[in-house]
């Protein structure tokens, strides 16, 4: 667990212990305490700097929700839904013809502030035998005020170790928008943020994430 996450969880736990019990039904309290939904949608080709020979990646995003929710007064991390589909247009072997290689992610976490968002989920593509400790994927998005041709995004298996990613962490958005291998610009990414307010009143902090195992490396 990162120091940042430990500080957040510890801070929320202190708030939970120190706050007074609110009035109203548990369902109403849960709804009031949960953050409003953020949204990340769009479709773009990106130019990945870590692969100069076959740099093009396409990410199709439809993600909605928040970083946490409350269930019977307990904070539960991951309150999002949607999918991220991605394509690496490249040959199966050096010198061969390029083809589409699609995979997808089931989204369970979204946090967005201003033009920047973090989206997290579990990879569902198994064709390459992805080990369990590399299934968690974190992606970051930047919607540029100069227009969608200047959008950027990053993905956790790009320039950082893919093993043992935790929900909500992510790299800087390192890949720039591109016209892709076919010279066609797509619509880019739209980030709709949501205010992130800490809950008031008594609540139980979230469970710690499962320990990471490197047995599958």
pLDDT tens per residue across span 1-43: 444 444 344 444 333 333 333 334 555 556 666 778 999 999 9
75: containing domain: 24-192
Residue 8 forms part of a structural domain? no
pLDDT by residue (tens digit) across 168-216? Answer: 899 999 999 999 999 999 999 999 999 887 777 788 999 988 877 655 4
Q: In angstroms, rounded to a whole number, what is the distance separating the alpha carbons of residues 141 and 129?
A: 27
User: Is 68 inside any structural domain?
Assistant: yes
174 lies in a domain?
A: yes
Q: Does residue 202 lie in a domain region?
A: no
Of the given ranges (9-23, 99-113, 148-162), which has the lowest mean pLDDT?
9-23
Residue 149 has pLDDT above 90, yes or no: yes
On whether residue 208 sits in a domain, the answer given is: no
Residue 118 belongs to a domain: yes
Quote the number of domains for the chain: 1
Q: Would 18 be classed as within a structural domain?
A: no
């Amino acid at each position: 667990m990162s120091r940042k996450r430990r500080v957040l969880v510890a801070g929320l736990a202190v708030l939970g212990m120190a706050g007074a019990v609110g009035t109203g039904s548990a369902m109403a309290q849960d709804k009031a305490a949960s953050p409003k939904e953020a949204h990340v949608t769009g479709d773009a080709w990106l130019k990945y700097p870590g692969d100069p020979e076959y740099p093009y990646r396409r990410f199709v995003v439809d993600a909605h929700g928040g970083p946490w929710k409350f269930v019977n007064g307990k904070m539960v991390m991951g309150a999002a839904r949607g999918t991220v589909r991605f394509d690496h247009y490249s040959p199966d072997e050096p010198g061969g013809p390029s083809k589409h290689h699609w995979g997808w992610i089931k989204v369970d976490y979204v946090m967005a502030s201003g033009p920047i968002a973090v989206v997290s989920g579990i990879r569902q593509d198994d064709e390459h035998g992805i080990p369990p400790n590399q299934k968690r994927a974190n992606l970051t998005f930047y919607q540029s005020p100069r227009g969608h041709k200047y959008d950027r995004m990053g993905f956790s298996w790009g320039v950082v170790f893919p093993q043992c990613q935790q929900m909500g962490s992510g790299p800087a958005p390192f890949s720039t928008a591109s016209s892709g291998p076919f010279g066609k610009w797509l619509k880019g990414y739209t980030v709709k943020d949501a205010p992130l307010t800490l809950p008031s009143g008594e609540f139980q902090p979230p469970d710690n994430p499962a320990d990471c195992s490197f047995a599958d490396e």
